[in-house]
Amino acid sequence: MRITIRCPIFPTEATDIVINSIHHLVPNMEMELVEEAKCTWIQSEGTNETILVPLREMIHENRVIDAARKMLRKSWTGSTTIMKLDKQAACRQKLRLVDQAESPPLGTIDITISFEDDTQYDGFLTWFTPPTKDGKIVRG
């Protein structure tokens, strides 16, 4: 599994605030600044799903498991999936999932997860966003 996080930093934004916002969602990732096409990006990569535990906990606490699961399934390409989070909400230490059709004014924090096979993806999906019924996680 490979986890990649990317987020644009616009000229009007404070880099440290954006980095802190991302660290609120995924605190255990090292961030680097990358210059691309007249834009600065914050980027990070990792291979261990445990770095997503704080984000997973936020998804569960905010009771958006079904929405997150739907997003991860809808964006599944057969090898990767993507979760888009609202950068402005993250700056306020809030979690807001962004649909593929949306375009928030400050952009999104994109978390792309690549898998070796469908089995690895299915295992991740069950761990990260387990099936629910009537708002409760279904075990077994």
CA distances from 132 to 68, 70, 120, 140 (A): 12, 12, 20, 11
Quote the pTM value. 0.92
Q: Determine whether domain 2-137 maps to CATH 3.30.1440.10.
A: yes
8 Å CB contact between 42 and 31: yes
Where are the domains positioned within the chain?
2-137
- Residue pLDDT, tens place only, 71-88: 999 999 999 999 999 999
Residue 137 to residue 140: CA distance in whole angstroms: 10
- Residue pLDDT, tens place only, 62-71: 999 999 999 9
